[in-house]
């Protein structure tokens, strides 16, 4: 009976203890294989738990000013100051949660797939045909769901590069508005008329983000034919006064500047004023600066001179239909019969 177990130690021990031949010959299947399968499952769950814990810690660390390198954008666009670093925007938290969710799903699928293949191998399945069939099915699904894969990959890179987030004002081509939700496949944008656009990430060719980093206020004011230096001086004083106001002082990233004559037209010169501001305050400061500049020109009496300079040169030039053509008298004289005057 001991020869039936050959060199199997476990079989020999079970045979010696029980004296049952079939139990001894099946000892490996009854005792070892279940333990190996349970061990594979336990180790897979432990690895999954450890990886999920590491991913959660990376995502939660975005609530602090120091952000882990893994969750940073691939290209930093704006340098964050100490004051800005104390406030972590909502979009960063949502972005970190989205990346963490993707990583957790990927880790779970990878770990359990490997564990399932190991378990099937323990039961004696030939994994080579199974892997070949899975590869063929994967290729077929890839060809049939090209747009879905394209959307998912584009959404993943959009999150990694931090192209835009919830609350940003973006221009994605046909739709321009505020981003309401960001996903791996779909981005929703609500435009100025309240229409909610569902845009596939794979179809977004270019994105103009109007809320990221800083913005530039550019105001062009025509001054006609008045003295440009005087107008520039008045406008520069008004712009600096707006930047010094307490409610707008923190919204200007740089001192506003009146750069001077931007272009010359038939109506006179055009003066340009620029100001570097925060992205959120740019629309408001555009109107505030424009109103302050026009009020300053009115107070200095330049607006009246601008209107007079526009009307003056035109009124001095008679219309073309009132100007008699040269040699008109001679031509009329020639047209009369006999050349009589």
Among 9-23, 97-111, 131-145, 284-298, the range of highest mean pLDDT: 284-298
d(CA 261, CA 28): 92
**Which pLDDT value is given to residue 196?**
92
Residue 322 — pLDDT band, cuts 50, 70, 90? very low
**Which pLDDT value is given to residue 20?**
65
**Which pLDDT value is given to residue 47?**
94
Query: Would you say the C-alpha torsion 139, 143, 146, 148 has a positive or negative sign?
Result: negative
- Pairing relation of β-strands 208-209 and 169-171? antiparallel
- Domain ranges in the chain with CATH number 2.30.30.60: 157-209
Tokens representing 334 are: 């020639």
Angle (deg, nearest 10), helices 127-144 and 90-122: 150
pLDDT: which is higher, 10 or 60: 60
Which pLDDT tens digit goes with each residue over 155-196? 888 877 778 887 888 998 888 898 888 877 888 999 988 899
| 334 pLDDT above the threshold of 60 | no
64-68's contacts with Cβ under 8 Å and 24+ in sequence apart are: 64/88, 67/92
Among 32-36, 92-96, 167-171, 272-276, the range of highest mean pLDDT: 272-276
What 3-state DSSP class applies to 162?
coil
Among candidate residues 220, 237, 218, 221, the one with its CA nearest the CA of residue 303: 221
Which pLDDT tens digit goes with each residue over 43-98? 999 999 999 998 888 777 654 544 545 455 544 444 444 434 433 455 666 667 77
- Domain ranges in the chain with CATH number 3.30.70.100: 214-316
| CATH class of the domain defined by 214-316 | alpha beta
Residue 332 — pLDDT band, cuts 50, 70, 90? very low
- The pTM (predicted TM-score) of the whole model is 0.53
Which pLDDT tens digit goes with each residue over 248-258? 888 888 888 88
Among candidate residues 194, 170, 195, the one with its CA nearest the CA of residue 182: 170
- Helical segments of the chain, H only: 9-18, 21-25, 27, 33-60, 82-85, 90-122, 127-144, 146-161, 228-244, 246-249, 282-299, 302-316, 328-335
pLDDT > 90: percent of the chain: 12
H or E element at residue 224 = strand 214-224
pLDDT: which is higher, 148 or 51: 51
| The domain defined by 157-209 carries CATH number 2.40.50.140 | no
- Degrees to nearest 5, angle at CA 126 with 107 and 105: 10
**Which pLDDT value is given to residue 319?**
44
**Which pLDDT value is given to residue 24?**
60
DSSP letters, 260-319, are EEEEEETTEEEEEEEEEEETTTHHHHHHHHHHHHHHHHHHTTHHHHHHHHHHHHHHHSPP
């Amino acid at each position: 009976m001991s020869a039936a177990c050959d060199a199997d130690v476990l079989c020999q021990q079970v045979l010696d203890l029980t004296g049952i031949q079939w139990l001894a010959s099946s000892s490996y299947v009854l005792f070892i294989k279940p333990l190996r399968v349970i061990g594979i499952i336990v180790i897979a769950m432990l690895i999954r738990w450890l990886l999920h814990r590491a991913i959660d810690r990376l995502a939660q660390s975005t609530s602090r000013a120091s952000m882990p390198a893994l969750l940073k954008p691939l290209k930093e666009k704006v340098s964050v100051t100490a004051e800005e670093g104390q406030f972590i925007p909502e979009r960063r938290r949502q972005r970190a949660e989205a990346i963490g969710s993707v990583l957790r799903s990927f880790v779970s699928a990878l770990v359990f797939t490997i564990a399932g293949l190991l378990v099937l191998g323990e039961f004696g399945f030939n994994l080579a045909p199974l892997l070949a069939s899975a590869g063929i099915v994967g290729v077929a699904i890839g060809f049939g769901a090209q747009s879905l894969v394209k959307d998912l990959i584009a959404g993943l890179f959009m999150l990694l590069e931090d192209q835009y987030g919830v609350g940003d004002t973006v221009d994605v081509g046909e739709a321009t508005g505020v981003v309401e939700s960001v996903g791996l496949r779909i981005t929703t944008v609500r435009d100025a008329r309240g229409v909610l656009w569902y845009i596939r990430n794979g179809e977004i060719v270019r994105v103009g983000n109007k809320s990221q980093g800083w913005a530039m206020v550019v105001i062009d004011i025509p001054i006609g034919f008045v003295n440009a230096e005087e107008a520039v001086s008045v406008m520069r004083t008004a712009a600096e006064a707006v930047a010094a106001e307490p409610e707008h002082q923190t919204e200007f990233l740089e001192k506003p500047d009146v750069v001077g004559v931007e272009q010359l037209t038939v109506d006179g010169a055009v003066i340009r004023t620029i100001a570097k501001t925060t992205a959120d305050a740019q629309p408001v400061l555009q109107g505030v600066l424009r109103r302050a500049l026009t009020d300053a020109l009115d107070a200095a009496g330049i607006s009246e001179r601008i209107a007079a300079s526009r009307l003056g040169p035109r009124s001095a030039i008679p219309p073309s239909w009132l100007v008699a053509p040269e040699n008109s008298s001679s031509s009329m004289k020639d047209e009369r019969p006999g050349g009589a005057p």
